[in-house]
């Protein structure tokens, strides 16, 4: 059985998520245009590398993935964008396995440690299904869970608050 895909941390969620080609400046309604789907983490990879001009290592660190995984994400993203541009396809942005914050949890029932998206409301152990979980993220050497302590304002819990400058 393959390993589960890790959460990819993103900072930017776009407001505009659909782009349609406009052949020869004539933008009429397109009802039958084919589209290419770009995942949120793929857009984030291109943003970090191409707009923020970070190194591959810095990008991977920000997204909390390995350098190889980052390279795989950005390669796939660029391939999709070029395909859409060359073939005249629409680009739809959405989906993927991303989060704005990653929680590191431990099941109090079976002891399994795993990662989950901060935005998930109902978290259960991936091993035994128990809801008895404890956050084990450490800040300054102390056990700390901003979600359990309610430190994040409501605006931080929603996706889509970052803006591309």
Per-residue pLDDT of 80-135, as tens digits, reads: 999 999 998 999 999 998 888 777 788 889 988 887 777 665 678 888 988 888 87
pLDDT at 159: 30
| Predicted TM-score (pTM) of this structure | 0.67
Say how far residue 87 (Cα) sits from the centre of its chain: 26
Pair type for strands 8-9 and 102-107: unpaired
- Torsion over CA: 41, 44, 46, 48 (sign): negative
Using alpha carbons, list the distances in angstroms from residue 146 to 53, 82, 101: 30, 40, 10
Domains of the chain: 8-22+32-98 (1.10.10), 101-156 (2.20.28)
How large is the greatest C-alpha to C-alpha distance in the chain, in angstroms?
62
Per-residue pLDDT of 39-76, as tens digits, reads: 999 999 999 999 999 999 999 999 999 999 999 999 99
């Amino acid at each position: 059985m393959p390993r589960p895909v890790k959460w990819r941390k993103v900072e930017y969620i776009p407001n505009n998520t659909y782009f349609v080609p406009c052949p020869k400046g004539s933008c009429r309604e397109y009802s039958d245009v084919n589209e290419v789907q770009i995942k949120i983490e793929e857009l984030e990879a291109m943003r970090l590398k191409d707009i923020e001009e970070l190194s591959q290592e810095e990008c991977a660190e920000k997204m909390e993935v390995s350098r190889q995984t980052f390279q795989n994400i950005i390669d796939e993203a660029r391939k999709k964008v070029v395909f859409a541009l060359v073939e005249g396809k629409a680009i739809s942005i959405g989906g993927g396995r991303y989060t704005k914050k990653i929680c590191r949890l431990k099941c109090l029932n079976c002891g399994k440690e795993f990662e989950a998206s901060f935005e998930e409301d109902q978290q259960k152990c991936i091993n035994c299904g128990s809801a008895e979980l404890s956050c084990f993220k450490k800040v300054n050497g102390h056990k700390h869970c901003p979600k359990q302590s309610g430190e994040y304002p409501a605006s931080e819990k929603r996706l889509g608050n970052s803006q591309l400058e």
